[in-house]
Structure 1
């Protein structure tokens, strides 16, 4: 009996110890690791003006680029920008190929299942662009028309949510980037493009008289910086710096540089 009692006691103690070990919280080194390597690697689609794109000299520039650089400077680290295919960018983040996604990333419930987000820093809409001479004037004019959008983008999600509209169009063509979609619109291969407002209006402003934007949109959405779910310390730091550059007017200055107005979320 004593032997059985001792064995039972040992078994119970072992279970308690293992359970305690299993419940030990994982140390969050996300911020200290960034500070140690003195580098913040930002993943982006480098063909997404004005958020992030290459200028004539091949340098990556844009609104989000300037925002990330400013935050990195205040953190005391270098910011490196790494182009990634957009439909695989969340996988790249979770595989630790990059530290952040900072590139007009829409906050959605589906993405929240995979990654964490900073606080909202820009609010955006999904707009519909057509050629200036097009007879399309509203959403229901897209019936039996071909619509283009970027694969894996929030434009794709927004159109899918509008079930009546997505069922009424003839075809939805998906592109690796918005530039390709707009080139096909110019060539008459598609009839309309669904795109982020911040991107679409930038293109429209660069080509006066070529495009028009429909008054109706496919909904309002929020932009946030994409961060790995367990990187709580890094998330806190990014939020802290975003708030700081908003309070001192730096983000306002960056916004006016790229959009001619302050689009920072208040």
Structure 2
């Protein structure tokens, strides 16, 4: 009887140790490892205050054009999308460190960024524009002479403004963590204008009618792409294939029409 009891105790101990070993192994999985129901999980870095590309609705749910596009693309890749709000100033660092797998939230393709990350083909056009209040005395870009202008920190708005001759005449350029804060300061009179993505201000001009106006002209013509970590050509290839399939089967057009009222996706 004693031998039997000892044997049973050793068997139980073996099962416990085996179970602990399995749990330890699972805890070391990377961001692209197994998610729900055995599918791969792709971690996507987003600015969750960048409407209509990715933002919080009145129930604090993360919604937007890029959110829907990323969710659909992940499904085409046999994966699940997990969205990780990040500080936009550190987006490339988050990607290179492996804490996220993709940057996907109105991410403008630039030569400087192409040196740091891989990009998909462009999927949406955009412009950097100057926005003021409807009753502002700033009626043209030239009127920014001596004014205070806001931009999102480390976005493409800053370089777009710097490339224009008016940049040298602006009194002060203030950087903000996100466009929402910049537009808030514009409404309260602490700014005379804000430079930001046209796709963003178009959204706010429909949700806050009679508040903002765009000045004529564009500071820069841009294209959005999805950023992938340098060296991860395999993921880039799979993602681009998914996007191409979505363009062919009408998924992209459907998502674009839902958010913009028309099919604006680049082919």
Query: Residue 165 of structure 1: CA displacement?
Result: 1.4
Give the ranges of 4+ consecutive aligned residues of structure 1 lying more than 2 Å apart after TM superposition: 33-37
> Where does residue 50 of structure 2 map in the other structure?
48
> Where does residue 110 of structure 2 map in the other structure?
108
Deviates more, 1:40-49 or 1:250-259: 250-259
Query: Residue 248 of structure 1: CA displacement?
Result: 1.5
Counterpart Cα distance in 2 of 1:42 and 1:82: 6
CA contact (8 A) 2:108 2:225 kept: yes
> Where does residue 176 of structure 2 map in the other structure?
175
CA contact (8 A) 2:54 2:64 kept: yes
CA contact (8 A) 1:35 1:77 kept: no
Query: Could you report, residue by residue, the CA deviation over 1:220-240 in whole angstroms, capped at 9, with x for unpaired residues?
Result: 111100001101011111111
Which of 142, 145, 150 is the equivalent residue of 1:143?
145
> Where does residue 21 of structure 2 map in the other structure?
none
CA contact (8 A) 2:46 2:103 kept: yes
> Where does residue 71 of structure 2 map in the other structure?
69
Listed as ranges, the matches of 1:229-240 within 5 Å are 229-240=230-241
Counterpart Cα distance in 2 of 1:71 and 1:117: 15
With the length of structure 2 as denominator, give the TM-score of the two structures. Answer: 0.85
> Where does residue 191 of structure 1 map in the other structure?
192
CA contact (8 A) 2:32 2:43 kept: no
> Given the alignment of the two structures, is residue 95 of structure 1 paired with residue 116 of structure 2, yes or no?
no
> Given the alignment of the two structures, is residue 57 of structure 1 paired with residue 59 of structure 2, yes or no?
yes
Query: Residue 36 of structure 1: CA displacement?
Result: 5.0
Query: Residue 35 of structure 1: CA displacement?
Result: 6.5
Query: Residue 60 of structure 1: CA displacement?
Result: 0.8
Counterpart Cα distance in 2 of 1:226 and 1:102: 7
Listed as ranges, the matches of 1:1-266 within 5 Å are 34=32, 38-162=40-164, 164-266=165-267
> Where does residue 17 of structure 1 map in the other structure?
none
CA contact (8 A) 1:42 1:99 kept: yes
Unmatched segments (≥5 aa) in structure 2: 1-30
With the length of structure 1 as denominator, give the TM-score of the two structures. Answer: 0.85
CA contact (8 A) 2:117 2:229 kept: yes
Counterpart Cα distance in 2 of 1:108 and 1:177: 19
CA contact (8 A) 1:35 1:76 kept: no
Counterpart Cα distance in 2 of 1:39 and 1:61: 19
**SS of residue matched to 1:201:** helix
Deviates more, 1:248-257 or 1:60-69: 248-257
